[in-house]
Amino acid sequence: YLLTIVILFIIGRRNKWREMRLKIPLLGVTTSLMLFGMSLPLGFIPFHVNLATFAGILLGPGLGFIASFISVFFLSLIGHGGITMVGINSLTVGIEAVAAGFLSVRLARYFRKHFRFSVALTTVISLVLSIGFIVAVIVLSTVYNVGEAFQLQTGLELTSVGLRNFLIIIFVIALVGISIETLITIWVINFIKSVRPDILER
């Protein structure tokens, strides 16, 4: 919670209020899409298409993190994740948005003639960072015997399986989840680029 609050405070200080105010409608729409994606599990795997990378690409790292926090907070009010998990879940989802916000601009410039590839690469890297963070937290929390408090979005407990099997399960889940979210993000961003390319300009 403390780290999340500090990050939100820094974002508020670094972003000019006037510029943020102009993007509030876009922030609202993006947050709504994230809420929709997060509330619909894929069913066959414990993975949610949270669209955080989409938020980061569209809004930038700062507002992308804010959108992640708002989405996680509202979902916690209806029992998705729980109010005590808002801080850690905001960091987990926010990592995707922040990474995507920074990477999208740089990769789009580097791969100017391959826009879809730059979006795909941005999404994959951002999701890998986020999943890596989840795995690290679960492993560390198990070492310090607080595993139940850090099950996060995976629904897995490291104590119930060996470390090797746990990593294999995570790899398979991540591979499927990343593939699905990458395809969705490419489609949505490419659609926005075709109808309102000015929205993507930062």
The domain limits of the chain are: 2-200
3-state secondary structure string across the chain: CHHHHHHHHHHHHHCCHHHHHHCHHHHHHHHHHHHHHHCCECCCCCCECCCHHHHHHHHCHHHHHHHHHHHHHHHHHCCCCCHHHHHHHHHHHHHHHHHHHHHHHHHHHHCCCCHHHHHHHHHHHHHHHHHHHHHHHHHHHHHCCCHHHHCCCCCCCHHHCCHHHHHHHHHHHHHHHHHHHHHHHHHHHHHHHHHCHHHHCC
Which CATH number applies to 2-200?
1.10.1760.20
- Is the pLDDT score of 96 beyond 80? yes
Band of residue 139 on the pLDDT scale cut at 50, 70, 90: confident
Per residue in 38-88, pLDDT (tens digit) is 877 776 676 778 899 999 999 999 999 999 999 999 988 887 767 778 888
